[in-house]
Amino acid sequence: MKLLRISILTLLALSGMAFMNYESKQFEISKNLEIFTNIYKELNTHYVDDIDPAGLMRTGIEAMLETLDPYTNYISEADIEGYRYMAEGKYDGIGARVRKMGDYVTIVEPYEGGPALDAGLRAGDMIIEVEGKSAKGKKTDEVEEILKGFPGTEVTITYRRPGEDKDQRVTVKRDEVAVKNVPYQGMLDEETGYVVLTTFTNNAGKNVAQAIKKLRDENPGMKSLVFDLRNNGGGYLREAVSISNLFIPRDEIVVTTKGKVRDRDRSFKTMNPPQEPDMPLVILTNEWTASASEIVSGVVQDLDRGVIVGTKTYGKGLVQNTVDLDYNAKLKLTTAKYYIPSGRCIQSVEYNDGEPVDIPDSEKAVFKTRAGRKVLEGGGIIPDVVTGGENDAAIIHFLQDNNLIFHYATKYHQEHEQIVPATEFEFDEFDDFIAFIEEKDIDFRTDSEEKLDDLLAAAESDHYMALVENEVEAIKEKIASEKEDDLQEHREQIESLIEKEIVSRYYYQTGKIEKSLRNDRDITTALEILHDQTIYNSYFEVR
């Protein structure tokens, strides 16, 4: 009885403490909301200049959310079309991907069959005005906000096409634009199928299943599959479960979510017999493979169902839920973390006051796959075969950062009315590309040169210039000499990037994918693995 009495008193004490903590937190929330409201009113009433109340409030909301993680966001009514595209793979607008280049937002990819392409807009066209208002200096999202709108409405765009003297004006009728989440499926050879998934939007699982079935029906000799998840930023969790179920048995746990509210923790299992239970499988990943993509690749690795090839994935293991707010706004907030079958979490960093803090390898827990292979928690999914970044050379970063390959493809498209089919096209005008770069007169500076300049500045400040100047200048001359050879040294990779960009101007996304298959190191590695069953099986052995 004495023990029982002590236990009851302890429980009552703990309950009282929890109640006091709850009451204290509620008081703090009420107090700070009142302070915030008073500041907002005082600023609106007495600040020397006129204030945009909505803009001021949005700044406050975004500043508050920035202290958490980058995936907890406020979505205003004006942002709903962008949110809809991310969630559903479709939106209402002109049907083109745009990006700021220099002073103007530029069309980088008009979607095949979309309103922009039908109106005559092309990749490379700079948006000078929208609805008669200058777009110079505007951010990408500011221009996108105007381009999007209800189907059937119109937007007038003034654009400047490189190589032409006069700006042109066109009226584009907005429409619902659906972007395919499976833009391509085909055969890499007589025995190996290939499917690309770009995002886990609605029906991703159904579309992948149909793509594989179509390949099987049309190619009876198909024995293995390469599933490409590179550059796939994720999407719906349910689609990750659905796609995993294509390859793994019914009643297998795919992912578990764990958060602050334990009653909401859930495990998601496969529900159906797998479509492809035994077909040899390679999944391709890179540093932009994230979230739902990491769940699928992680599940396949944890259950020893296939081989992962490529580079380490992004490491986004956080779960977001969306809450409806008043006035058609939404709050997307992180509520839990993803845990895959081995028990590991794929989240690569923790967030402290909004800033990412990397998890060192020494603090990463070791888990085991079903066959007993060791895998690490945190830092994304490490492939079974790490191929490394193919385009990591400084010269390639320079060409891409300055959009030189993109601009050259625009010029090429203007000078060539048509080209041979995507798979047959070969770029053989490298000297012309070099001349194009030289005309742009953009200084190619490496990180090493930047750091050497910093060293010289520090030496001058510390009065050591006489000691280091000659040595540093000699190093810079050697770097300059090496740079002259960089274009030729990396010619094959650069030509491959040029080919893909040029092909996309004529055959759009499908052609770009078809062309990319020819010189793809990850795909070459995948085929080597799949062509030899002994090699394939060796990756599931415990070492």
Lowest mean pLDDT of 123-137, 322-336, 416-430, name the range: 322-336
Query: Which pLDDT band, with edges at 50, 70 and 90, does 363 fall under?
Result: confident
291 is catalytic: yes
**Rounded mean pLDDT, 179-206:** 93
**Rounded mean pLDDT, 330-348:** 87
> What does the pLDDT look like over 367-421, one tens digit per residue?
999 999 999 886 789 999 999 765 667 888 889 889 999 999 999 999 999 999 9
From the candidates 302, 384, 520, 522, give the one annotated as an active-site residue: 302
Q: What is the CATH number of the domain that holds 229?
A: 3.90.226.10
Q: Are 165 and 270 found together in one domain? A: no
Q: Is 60 exceeded by the pLDDT of residue 1?
A: no
Nearest to residue 289, comparing CAs of 317, 314, 320?
314
CA distance 424 to 122: 23
Q: Are 276 and 245 found together in one domain? A: yes
Q: Are 84 and 218 found together in one domain? A: no
Picking from 127, 158, 178, the residue at the C-terminal end of a domain is: 178
**Rounded mean pLDDT, 139-151:** 85
Nearest to residue 234, comparing CAs of 292, 278, 179?
292
**Rounded mean pLDDT, 48-64:** 79
Picking from 111, 144, 178, the residue at the C-terminal end of a domain is: 178
**Rounded mean pLDDT, 413-441:** 92
Q: Is 80 exceeded by the pLDDT of residue 352?
A: no
Nearest to residue 223, comparing CAs of 517, 530, 518?
530
CA distance 367 to 349: 18
Picking from 389, 417, 432, the residue at the C-terminal end of a domain is: 389
Which residues lie across from 256 on neighbouring strands?
Answer: 267, 339
Token pair recorded at residue 100: 């700021």
**Rounded mean pLDDT, 277-288:** 96
Q: Are 146 and 238 found together in one domain? A: no
From the candidates 100, 138, 316, 515, give the one annotated as an active-site residue: 316
- What is the DSSP track for 34-94? HHHHHHHHHHHHH-SS---HHHHHHHHHHHHHTTS-TT-EEE-GGGHHHHHHHHHSEEEE-
CA distance 2 to 319: 46
pLDDT of residue 263: 80
In contact, 276 and 212? CB cutoff 8 Å: yes
Token pair recorded at residue 347: 């989240």
Q: Are 128 and 232 found together in one domain? A: no
**Rounded mean pLDDT, 456-485:** 72
pLDDT of residue 456: 73
Q: Is 80 exceeded by the pLDDT of residue 92?
A: no
Higher pLDDT, 237 or 246: 246
Q: Are 204 and 245 found together in one domain? A: yes
Distances (CA, A) of 448 to 25, 331, 469, 474: 51, 43, 15, 13
Q: Flag whether 43 is in a domain.
A: no
Lowest mean pLDDT of 118-122, 163-167, 502-506, name the range: 163-167
Lowest mean pLDDT of 14-28, 96-110, 206-220, 336-350, name the range: 14-28
From the candidates 224, 242, 244, 291, give the one annotated as an active-site residue: 291
Nearest to residue 515, comparing CAs of 20, 184, 29, 64?
184
pLDDT of residue 80: 54
pLDDT of residue 390: 59
| Backbone φ/ψ region at 253: left (φ over 0), alpha (ψ -120 to 50), beta | beta
Q: Are 406 and 519 found together in one domain? A: yes
Q: Are 379 and 409 found together in one domain? A: no
Q: Are 218 and 364 found together in one domain? A: yes
Q: Flag whether 36 is in a domain.
A: no
Token pair recorded at residue 141: 């999202």
Q: Is 60 exceeded by the pLDDT of residue 20?
A: no
Q: Flag whether 538 is in a domain.
A: no
Q: Flag whether 453 is in a domain.
A: no
pLDDT of residue 25: 72
Lowest mean pLDDT of 187-201, 267-281, 470-484, name the range: 470-484
Q: Flag whether 475 is in a domain.
A: no
pLDDT of residue 26: 76
Q: Is 50 exceeded by the pLDDT of residue 536?
A: yes
Lowest mean pLDDT of 81-90, 144-153, 397-406, 458-467, name the range: 81-90
Distances (CA, A) of 411 to 164, 437, 439, 539: 11, 12, 13, 46
Q: Is 70 exceeded by the pLDDT of residue 156?
A: yes
224 is catalytic: no
Q: At what angle do helices 237-244 and 204-218 cross, to 10 degrees?
A: 30
Q: Is 80 exceeded by the pLDDT of residue 312?
A: yes
**Rounded mean pLDDT, 114-140:** 93
Query: How many domains is the chain built from?
Result: 3
Q: Flag whether 455 is in a domain.
A: no
Q: Are 343 and 214 found together in one domain? A: yes
pLDDT of residue 77: 59
CA distance 540 to 366: 17
Domain that holds residue 128: 80-178
Q: What is the CATH number of the domain that holds 157?
A: 2.30.42.10
Q: Flag whether 385 is in a domain.
A: yes
Q: Flag whether 11 is in a domain.
A: no
pTM of the model: 0.77
316 is catalytic: yes
pLDDT of residue 529: 97
Q: Are 240 and 358 found together in one domain? A: yes
Q: Is 50 exceeded by the pLDDT of residue 85?
A: no
Q: Are 313 and 375 found together in one domain? A: yes
